[in-house]
């Protein structure tokens, strides 16, 4: 069996009054990500993990933030394009595991919706997409709510 693993990492700065999108879901929050796209830092890390598994570069290479067509873009569109690319290369997603580090708001109420949303975009069962959330115990830029940090791992299997 031919398998590939990839990891992804992304950070966005947070600012008051911006919408907060994570895992394809809008979170009720007074702060949101500063970004060229919708700022869905969880999907961005996931895309990088998927691309990384096939050594296809990163999200910035495929969707440059200097291009007007990607301004404010729904990151679910980026995720669906990445999955399409993976399928074209002859691979399918086995599973992915995503860890979101954010001090506040509490993300627990949104985890199931994020998993279902990303799984549906990727065309896989939700039990193949894991989302975990953690604070950093008020330490560092995440702890000060200056930014949101996400780590992702994805496993691909040759079709």
- Return d(Cα 42, Cα 81) in angstroms, integer: 16
Cβ proximity to Mg ion: between 44 and 76 the closer is 44
Residues near 114 by Cβ (< 8 Å), separated by ≥ 6?
22, 23, 24, 25, 42, 131
Cβ proximity to Mg ion: between 10 and 149 the closer is 10
Task: Give least dist CB 1 to Mg ion, A.
Answer: 32
Buried b (16+ CB within 10 A) or exposed e, 93-115: beebbbbbbbbeeebeebbebbb
Cβ proximity to Mg ion: between 148 and 156 the closer is 148
Estimate to the nearest angstrom the gap between the alpha carbon of 118 and the chain centroid: 9
Q: Which residues make up the interface to Mg ion (CB under 5 A)?
A: 10, 44
Cβ proximity to Mg ion: between 50 and 91 the closer is 50
Instruction: Give the residue closest to Mg ion by C-beta.
Output: 44
Task: Give least dist CB 3 to Mg ion, A.
Answer: 26
Task: Give least dist CB 158 to Mg ion, A.
Answer: 28
The answer to whether the beta carbons of residues 98 and 130 sit under 8 Å apart is: yes
- Return d(Cα 35, Cα 55) in angstroms, integer: 25
Task: Give least dist CB 137 to Mg ion, A.
Answer: 24
């Amino acid at each position: 069996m031919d398998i590939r693993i990839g990891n992804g990492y992304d950070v966005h700065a947070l600012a008051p009054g911006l919408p907060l999108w994570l895992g394809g879901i809008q979170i009720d929050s007074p702060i949101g990500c500063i970004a060229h796209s919708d700022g869905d830092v969880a999907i961005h890390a996931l895309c990088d993990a998927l691309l990384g598994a096939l050594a296809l570069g990163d999200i910035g290479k495929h969707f440059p933030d200097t291009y007007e067509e990607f301004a404010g873009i729904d990151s679910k569109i980026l995720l669906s394009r990445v999955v399409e690319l993976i399928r074209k290369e002859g691979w399918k997603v086995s599973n992915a595991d995503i860890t979101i580090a954010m001090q506040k708001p509490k993300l627990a109420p949104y985890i199931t919706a994020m998993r279902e949303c990303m799984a549906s975009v990727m065309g896989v069962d939700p039990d193949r997409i894991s989302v975990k959330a953690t604070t950093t115990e008020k330490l560092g830029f995440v702890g000060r709510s200056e930014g949101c940090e996400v780590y992702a791992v994805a496993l691909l299997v040759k079709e």
